């Protein structure tokens, strides 16, 4: 489970990165989490986009003491807790970590701040699986369990917009 650990990104697929760059709106604002893997990915995409300050609120979920450990190892120690964390996401927290609801509140507050500060602008957010699902959960009005059914691949695009009537998703896990 990799959350807040600052591991490097695999950016070896330069063709995929070029397709992603070409797909995203030129002239958009660009922001990433403050973790190295998101920063490095955003660095590849910033040539035609104005870069905003890295935002720690866009980080992946914090796995606490489960961080960088295999599921099977944690399950052997605390089977009920880790199963509840994944099967009924919400308020269950890993020891010294955060719950799904904590992650969602953090990410959605960050997105709301970005939208308020940059009204009417396209914003490309380079983030992580959990952060993307948290935003998608709000846009689609899904339960945590339902949003977990979505797949989010590396270098994929999930597109959402917010207008007076609320959130709308447009593309989910599109790989250009």
Q: 96-107, pLDDT tens digit by residue?
A: 999 999 999 999
Percent share of the chain, pLDDT over 90: 92
pLDDT tens track for 10-51: 999 999 999 999 999 999 999 999 999 999 999 999 888 999
- 63-85 burial: b if 16+ Cβ within 10 Å, else e: beebbebeeeebbeeeeeebeeb
pLDDT tens track for 142-169: 999 999 899 999 999 999 999 877 898 9
What's the token pair of residue 134? 């948290």
What's the token pair of residue 87? 């099967």
pLDDT tens track for 55-67: 999 999 999 999 9
> Which residue's structure tokens are 């990433």?
32
Q: Is the pTM of this model over 0.75?
A: yes
- Count the neighbouring beta carbons within 10 Å of the beta carbon of residue 5: 13
pLDDT of residue 165: 77
Question: Measured between alpha carbons, how far is residue 10 from residues 36, 40, 46, 115, 155 in Å?
Answer: 11, 9, 17, 29, 10
């Amino acid at each position: 489970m990799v959350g807040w650990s600052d591991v490097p990104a695999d950016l070896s697929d330069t063709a995929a990165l070029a397709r992603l760059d070409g797909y995203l709106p030129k002239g958009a604002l660009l922001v990433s989490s403050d973790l190295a893997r998101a920063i490095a990915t955003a660095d590849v995409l910033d040539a035609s986009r104005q870069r905003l300050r890295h935002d720690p609120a866009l980080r992946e979920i914090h796995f606490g003491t489960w961080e960088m450990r295999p599921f099977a190892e944690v399950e052997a120690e605390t089977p009920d807790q880790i199963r509840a964390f994944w099967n009924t996401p919400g308020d269950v927290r890993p020891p010294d970590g955060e719950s799904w609801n904590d992650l969602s509140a953090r990410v959605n507050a960050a997105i709301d701040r970005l939208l308020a500060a940059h009204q009417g602008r396209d914003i490309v957010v380079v983030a992580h699986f959990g952060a993307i699902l948290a935003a998608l959960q709000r846009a689609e009005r899904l339960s945590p369990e339902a949003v977990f059914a979505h797949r989010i691949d590396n270098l994929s695009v999930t597109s959402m917009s917010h207008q007076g009537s609320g959130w709308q998703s447009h593309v989910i896990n599109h790989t250009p």
